[in-house]
Structure 1
Amino acid sequence: MSPFKIPESVLVVIYTRALDVLLIQRADADDFWQSVTGSKDHEDEPLMRTAAREVHEETGFDCRPGSALATQLRDWHLQNVYEIYPRWRARYAPGVTRNTEHLFGLCVPERMAPLLAPREHTAWRWLSYRDAADACFSPSNAEAILLLPQFAS
């Protein structure tokens, strides 16, 4: 396994049918609220598997194949390419400055309490989708949340 992060990641918007969105607070930047995010573990890891793995690691919600929530994880078939924040560039190979982020949504039956990975996230909150978009530090995360009415089933 490479010591560097792969510059291909997922963003998973977790939401309810009422369009409430779960945001989690980063442990390494307490003013950064976001949806679930994470990079592929290896180049050939399928994006759906990356998304399900990251959701499970960061919230404890199980949407891996065979779980009750598996059918609720949806690939939105959209992606963002963005400049990696300078504070996190050292995690990537030298010269890597851009990341490709693939968008997913996960509809959960109700507002549920996540089980956070304390080294990654320290707090959580459910907000209406518009308030969640306003609370995100990342413009691409905010834009994804604002697309929610188009993708919610």
Structure 2
Amino acid sequence: MSQVSAEYKVPVSALVLVHTSDLQVLIMERADKAGFWQSVTGSLERLPSGELERPIDAALREVKEETGLDAADYKLVDWHCSHVYEIYPHWRFRYAPGVAENTEHIFGLELPAPVAVQLAPREHVAYEWVDWREAAKRVFSWTNVEALRKLGERNNLTL
């Protein structure tokens, strides 16, 4: 990967499907785009050493930042899959010039039951726990839909 300035977002991220064993999924509405619902997601950060944090560490950090939950208290699983997607043009200013794609690593975080979460108000304005199929209808990114499809498949279900 080429050097990326600390002022730009790293075009590598983690997406975490927070769900229950009966496949209720946490979705959150973005603060900067009304009506845009998503799972927990966020870019990897540069460590003080200049190296990138690992995707699993980004997943742990983002769950805490976006929901107030400590993923270490539950079952966080690296699904060992990722998607490459085109960054929406209206968000490209966050990345180094010429960066147009992001690689998103997928994780699942299973909770025993839906819980109240503490949203990061600069990132999200509302949350809901919904059936995984309903979540797939509501999230805005195709990678989030694909992750939800994989959640179903992991449970021998289809969308």
Query: TM-score, structure 2 length as denominator?
Result: 0.89
Aligned length in residues: 147
1:119-130 alignment, distance < 5 Å: 119-130=122-133
Name 1:15's counterpart in structure 2: 19
1:1-153 alignment, distance < 5 Å: 2-42=6-46, 43-63=51-71, 67-69=72-74, 72-151=75-154
Instruction: Give structure 1 regions of 4+ aligned residues with deviation exceeding 4 angstroms.
Output: none
Taking only aligned residues, the RMSD between alpha carbons, in angstroms, comes to: 1.1
Task: Note if contact 1:11-1:35 (Cα within 8 Å) is conserved in structure 2.
Answer: yes
Q: Which moved more, 1:14-23 or 1:38-47?
A: 38-47
Change (3 A) 1:104 1:113: same
How much does 1:150 deviate? 3.2
How much does 1:47 deviate? 1.1
Q: For the residues of structure 2 that align with 1:98 and 1:112, how far apart are their CA atoms?
A: 34
Q: Deviations over 1:93-113 (max 9, x none)?
A: 000000000000000111011
Query: TM-score, structure 1 length as denominator?
Result: 0.93
Q: For the residues of structure 1 that align with 2:28 and 2:17, how far apart are their CA atoms?
A: 11
Q: Deviations over 1:1-41 (max 9, x none)?
A: 71000000000000000101000000000110000000001
Structure 1: tracts of 5 or more residues without a match: none
Q: SS of the counterpart of 1:93? A: coil
Structure 2: tracts of 5 or more residues without a match: none
Q: SS of the counterpart of 1:3? A: coil
